[in-house]
């Protein structure tokens, strides 16, 4: 596609429910990132996929969070048993990846998650 696509754009869920957020990266981009942005805050790193390598999960805040990337393309971020503090905008980004460094990241419009 022309850019990074995320769905849904908005999600309201009840506390305790599970949610799945989807990211379609730019075709050919091998690197994919998930970030979380709470209201008025910075970009908190969650997880990073690079090609077929094991993902870097060092930013996931708890074991309720998980992510997968199928076929080196689409990624799904799953939050189980959602809590109110999970409310935030979840941003996905992709880049051309590990070909020397300095590859710029393209961000999607994000999914705004509200846990009520």
CA–CA dist 91, 108 (Å, integer): 6
* Tokens read off for 36: 């979380």
Asked whether position 34 contacts other proteins by CB under 8 A, the answer is no
CA–CA dist 100, 116 (Å, integer): 44
Asked whether position 106 contacts other proteins by CB under 8 A, the answer is yes
Asked if 110 and 6 touch (Cβ cutoff 8 Å), the reply is yes
For 71, left (φ over 0), alpha (ψ -120 to 50), or beta? left
Asked whether position 65 contacts other proteins by CB under 8 A, the answer is no
Question: Between 73 and 106, whose beta carbon lies closer to other proteins?
Answer: 106
Segment near other proteins (CB under 8 A); pick from 20-28, 64-72, 74-82, 98-106: 98-106
Contact residues: other proteins, CB under 8 A: 31, 33, 35, 41-43, 45, 48, 50, 56, 91, 93, 95, 97-98, 100-110
């Amino acid at each position: 596609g022309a850019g990074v696509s995320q769905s849904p754009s908005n999600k309201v869920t009840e506390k305790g429910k599970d949610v799945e957020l989807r990211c379609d990266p730019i075709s050919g981009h091998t690197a994919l990132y998930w970030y979380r942005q709470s209201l008025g805050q910075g970009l908190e790193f969650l997880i990073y996929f690079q090609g077929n390598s094991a993902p870097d999960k060092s930013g996931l805040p708890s074991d309720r969070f998980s992510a997968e990337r199928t076929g080196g393309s689409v990624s799904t971020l799953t939050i189980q048993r959602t809590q109110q503090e999970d409310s935030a905008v979840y941003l996905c980004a992709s880049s051309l990846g590990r070909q020397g460094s300095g590859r710029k990241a393209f961000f999607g419009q994000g999914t705004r998650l509200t846990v009520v």
